[in-house]
Amino acid sequence: MSVQAEGTFYVQGIGLRPKIQVSTDGSGVVGHAGARLLADLADATGLTASYSAALRPLRPRGTGHGPGRIAADLAVMLADGGEAIADLVVLRDQADVFGSVASTPTAWRLLADVDERALASLRSARASAREVAWLQAAENGEGLPAARAAGRVLPGLVLDLDATLVTCHSEKEQAAPTYKGGFGFHPLLCFLANTGEAMSGRLRPGNAGANTATDHITVLDEALAQIPDAHRHGTDILVRTDSAGSAKAFLAHVRALRKRGIRTSFSVGYAITEPVRRAIRAIPDHLWHPALNQDGTLRDGAGVAELTGIVDLDGYPAGTRIIVRRERPHPCAQLSLFDQDEGLRHQVFLTDTPHSGGGSARFLETRHRGHACVEDHIRCGKTTGFGRFPSRGFAVNAVWLELSLTAIDLLAWMRVLLLDGELAAAEPKKLRYRLLHVAARLTRGGRRLRLRISATWPWRNELATAFHRLAALPRPAS
């Protein structure tokens, strides 16, 4: 910046960084100190103990590192932002904070030893820890946050299913060409919209079909198995997918779950076929109603109409409704030939939510549009483990996916149980930069180990409060 004074220009000085000297003789300093919060949370929810019980058959002689502890440490490492098994070194080289952590070869052997039966046990162990975490949330008086749409609270739980592509090297087992011209895997995942928890996931080859009903049924059933009994029965559970979930067999399965006492309903995308196009063109203008934003305000340039009774839905569950939204496209929108001809972008979905009880087409369309949050969950999940797969073996990568889902759960439980305000809704990157990756001094005195966070760190109070809340959580019975 220049300043003129009496015809002369002077350059205003820019503050220089203070000069430093670097040495390697420091002591008592630890990095990633906030990650200890995740390790303790794994213990407090019973996850570490449940993992230990699930993997006990892999430690027949009871020597060496416990397999359950190794699995929990891997999940903590992934939640902290690690991308490879070797990143366990961040925990292992700070034993004063994280205790004894397995070597990279030991962790590799564990992943290779987990077969389908052990993987199922890991899923059951995660469900047990989830039940504890949800009970702890209830004990705190907060409970689970509610999903919202159009400025209204959605009752019960909302499950969002979606598939994603993960690019992988061709040497990895079952990696295959994808429909977008890439190469890798095509996992199908389910997230809980209320909290962002990763309920279930299925690793699939890159050429797996996007709309495979069998895979959707499997992932949904595994997600429902993760929900504690007290919530799985007697709670409304909405299942949302894009058009890949509109297969009749999948929707029939969602409806059949009601016979087992599980109150499921669906809201799924639907392909715009020629009969749908004809129906859209036949709707008079006065039957189009203004669409809503997620806060309940009117959405500019968008309208909603009901096609139920105009489009043949033979073979779909009784009471299925079909609703369409049209909107002026944004500049980068991908339009079909039909959209280009009409000059508007159209999206269609099916739902079995009845008119009674506030199921207007406008509200249901806004509720369905909330399914887009799953894209954020997947994007964050790819930075929490399943964006990269470490092994050539498919079975090892399937275990890696399960541990990455656990890492996502740990971050979600941390937000619900331990954090407030902005951080309670923060994505993993923000949590890592502000809380998990913080450095601290480790001191000993009075037979106690103290983790001293810098007095100038902007989020020191939030992190200290989180540790205090963690210490106060009720613990599961041993």
Checking if the pLDDT of 286 tops 80, the result is: yes
Q: Is the pLDDT of residue 340 over 90?
A: no
Structure tokens at 435: 């809380």
Give mean pLDDT, residues 130-136.
97
pLDDT band of residue 361 (cuts 50, 70, 90) is very high
Max Cα–Cα distance, the chain, nearest Å: 88
Q: b/e string for 198-223 if b means 16 or more Cβ within 10 A?
A: bbbbbbbbbebebbbbebbbebbebb
Token digits of residue 1: 């910046």
Cβ atoms of 238 and 149 within 8 Å: the answer is no
Q: Is the pLDDT of residue 180 over 50?
A: yes
Sorting pLDDT into bands at 50, 70 and 90, what band is 341? low
What is the pLDDT, as a whole number, of residue 451? 92
Whether the pLDDT of residue 82 is over 80: the answer is yes
Residue 337 in this model has a pLDDT that exceeds 70: no
pLDDT band at 478 (very low <50, low <70, confident <90, very high): low
Over residues 160-173, mean pLDDT? 93
pLDDT digits (tens, 9 = 90+) for 436-448: 999 999 998 878 8
The pTM of the full predicted model, rounded to 2 decimals, is 0.93
**Average pLDDT over all residues of the chain:** 92
Which of 154, 148, 142, 179 lies closest to 164, judged by CA? Answer: 179
Going by the DSSP 8-state scheme, the letter that residue 311 receives in this structure is B
302-307 contacts, C-beta under 8 A, 24 or more apart: 302/326, 302/327, 302/328, 303/327, 304/361, 304/362, 304/365, 305/280, 305/361, 306/361, 307/276, 307/279, 307/280, 307/283, 307/348
- Tell me what the mean pLDDT of segment 75-80 comes to: 98
Residue with tokens 């060409």: 177
pLDDT tens string 293-326 = 999 999 988 999 999 999 999 999 999 999 999 9
- pLDDT exceeds cutoff 80 at 12: no
Higher pLDDT, 425 or 337: 425
Q: Which of 8-12, 163-167, 239-243 has the lowest mean pLDDT?
A: 8-12
pLDDT in the model for residue 1: 46
- What mean pLDDT is predicted for residues 171-189? 94
Looking at residue 329, what is its pLDDT? 75
Using alpha carbons only, give the angle 352, 357, 358 rounded to the nearest 5 degrees.
Answer: 90
Asked if 211 contacts 246 with a C-beta cutoff of 8 angstroms, the reply is yes
